[in-house]
Amino acid sequence: MSTVALKELSRSKCFAGHVIKYSHPSRLLGCDMKFSMFLPESKPLEKREQKLPVLYFLSGLTCTEDNFMQKAGAQRKAAQEGIILVAPDTSPRGLGIEGEDDSWDLGTGAGFYVDATTEKWKQYKMYSYITEELPGIINQSFPVDTTRVSIAGHSMGGHGALVIGLKNPDKYRSISAFSPIANPTDCPWGVKAFSAYLGPDKDAWKAYDASELIANYSGPSKKILVDQGKADQFLEEQLKVERLTKAKNDSGKNVLDLSLRLHDGYDHSYYFISTFIEEHLEFHAKQLKA
Amino acid sequence: MSTVALKELSRSKCFAGHVIKYSHPSRLLGCDMKFSMFLPESKPLEKREQKLPVLYFLSGLTCTEDNFMQKAGAQRKAAQEGIILVAPDTSPRGLGIEGEDDSWDLGTGAGFYVDATTEKWKQYKMYSYITEELPGIINQSFPVDTTRVSIAGHSMGGHGALVIGLKNPDKYRSISAFSPIANPTDCPWGVKAFSAYLGPDKDAWKAYDASELIANYSGPSKKILVDQGKADQFLEEQLKVERLTKAKNDSGKNVLDLSLRLHDGYDHSYYFISTFIEEHLEFHAKQLKA
């Protein structure tokens, strides 16, 4: 196995562990990529705990690897539970694709966690980056228990977490999302992104739609936690989280244990995430340590 | 009492309370000023708790009213303790003073919590803004127990909290600081700012120097908590926190209960603050509820 060229960009001690930001050349995406991670304090004497479980957190539109680490307040509980957090960037950057920086909801900062198939965006392979290339790097470089991995995300990243978790139920023990884009084939953000990245064939879009994946799920039993603020300005037009429950009910199957919680008064911001992130970490910890 | 023209800029529910950002015209500073606050959930049935204690948190160089609220992770404990948090901006803005935006450590974002006396900077009255005008607005507009007020801060704001608390021991029940500029009359940041704001007479600077104020303190007993990371890149040249202990020891008095804690490996960032902010809130809560 070849060595990964990880470059440490910053390191700050936090809750006795460290928040560390890295960059690395991505062979898959054709550019340098950054991610931020929280590595809890290592306890070398307790061999049992030497390999730690890991939670990937996928961020939303316009975000980078920083937002979650700086604003969610996740480190306190992650340190307590001994869980590594990994926050990837949200798209390739600097590829020189025409118009890649023109919109906040397409191109840079808006990779939508799909593998693009259109000629123009063919380098946008964020699905494979998150599920293959990045875990390969993480597993090679850090003390990760590769059998104990879960995934979470917010908004576009909530969509990403649901899609990636549902498509890879053997890789991810549990899935959670804040304010996810639940039915991207039927909302303006999703239609815009999928048209660009996947082309006009709407059947191809369904492979990246959480509601479609839930409706047709045939994998092992899986726990999913979704939190949604009822004062979220994007709820009605873009997120449509109730479609997740509908898809599950329509499927007539109970193999997915979906808990969708609606919260009065909360909006789309990190203040909402920070309020419930510790419950998400407890939810994942239970599955990761089972 | 005239009504204050508070303009609500944003409001997000957080830990059952709200983070709210306001702007208001400052008569004292001659510009609009912003502040961000956390207002815990009101419990109208428990009359005893209707008026809440308040903690002012003063931020550091280059910061605005946002940094502390977004990055410190203080709301969880503040909600538990029922403490209002107020995060002011760090200087007047847009006054049109020549060069006010040229340096990150002077002018905009760098008010240093003094009342400037030089002709050029005479509108920079952040000391009076924080101790008089802003509390007047807060007390008039929110359910604040005006007898239960404490102050804290980081870096330049740690200096501000120490100076303001020590000069007004009857107004502030307790004082805490992260990585404060402890002896600004003898460090590059302080000398630059005090020269500009207070002029060449170094005797006038001492009124805004925490180490000087501790050395000459003659007020009532007061608890002070200071946390400092030992890997802080500014510790040696700018912060010099050990001067606080020295000043107290040299004074030969014990009326100040100063706890200075040095932490291995921690730097100057909000990751350090987030690690210990809950202990600061517990420290203040004890004094605020005594």
pLDDT for B48 beyond 70: no
- Confidence class for position A1, pLDDT limits 50, 70, 90: very low
Checking if the pLDDT of B1 tops 50, the result is no
* Alpha helices in A72-216, H assignment, sequence order: 75-81, 126-128, 134-141, 156-167, 188-198, 202-205, 210-215
Please tell me the distance in Å from A17's CA to the nearest CA on chain B. Answer: 10
Nearest to A271 among B12, B271, B275 (CB): B12
Q: Band of the pLDDT at A2, cuts 50, 70, 90?
A: low
Catalytic residues of A: 155, 232, 268
- Nearest CB partner across the interface for A271, out of B13, B269, B271: B13
Q: What is the pLDDT of residues A268-281, one digit of tens each?
A: 999 999 999 999 99
Task: Count A/B contacts: CB-CB distance under 8 Å.
Answer: 65
The neighbour count for residue B221, using CB atoms within 10 Å, is 9
- Sort out which chain A residues have CB atoms less than 8 A from B77's CB and list them: none
Q: What is the pLDDT of residue A5?
A: 87
Give the model's confidence band at A190: pLDDT under 50 very low, under 70 low, under 90 confident, else very high: very high
Q: Closest CB to B73: pick one of A267, A272, A274.
A: A274
pLDDT digits (tens, 9 = 90+) for B224-270: 999 999 999 999 999 999 999 999 999 998 999 999 999 999 999 99
Which residue in the set B15, B16, B71 is minimally distant from A71, CB to CB? B71
Find the angle CA(A231)-CA(A160)-CA(A132) to the nearest 5 degrees: 160
In this prediction, residue A142 has a pLDDT band, given cuts at 50, 70 and 90, of very high
Cβ separation of B16 and A275 shorter than 8 Å?
Answer: yes
Compute the nearest-CA separation of A66 from chain B (Å): 11
* CB contact B67 to A (< 8 Å): no
Say which of B155, B174, B176, B211 is annotated catalytic: B155
User: What CATH number belongs to A7-288?
Assistant: 3.40.50.1820
d(CA B169, CA B175): 9
Tokens of A86: 């990994």
Residue A241 confidence (pLDDT) above 60: yes
The active-site residue, picked from B154, B159, B268, B284, is B268
State what percent of residues in chain A have pLDDT above 70.
97
Among B12, B274, B279, the residue to mutate for chain A (most A Cβ within 10 A): B12
Asked whether the beta carbons of residue A13 and residue B75 sit closer than 8 angstroms, the reply is no
pLDDT, tens digit (0-9, with 9 covering 90-100), for A90-124: 999 999 999 999 999 999 999 999 999 999 999 99
Alpha carbons B59 and A275: distance in angstroms, whole number:
23
Instruction: Give the pLDDT confidence of A66-87 residue by residue, as tens digits.
Output: 999 999 999 999 999 999 999 9
Mean pLDDT of B137-149: 96
With residue A283 as reference, give the H or E element that holds it.
helix A270-288
**Helix and strand element counts for chain B (H, E):** 10, 9
CA B98, B99, B101 angle in degrees (round to 5)?
125
DSSP string, B20-84: EEEEEEETTTTEEEEEEEEEPPP-TT-GGGSSEEEEEEE--TT--SSHHHHHS--HHHHHHHT-E
Cβ of A270 within 8 Å of Cβ of B229? The answer is: no
Minimal CA–CA distance to B74: which of B92, B59, B91, B90? B59
Per-residue pLDDT band at B4 (split at 50, 70, 90): confident
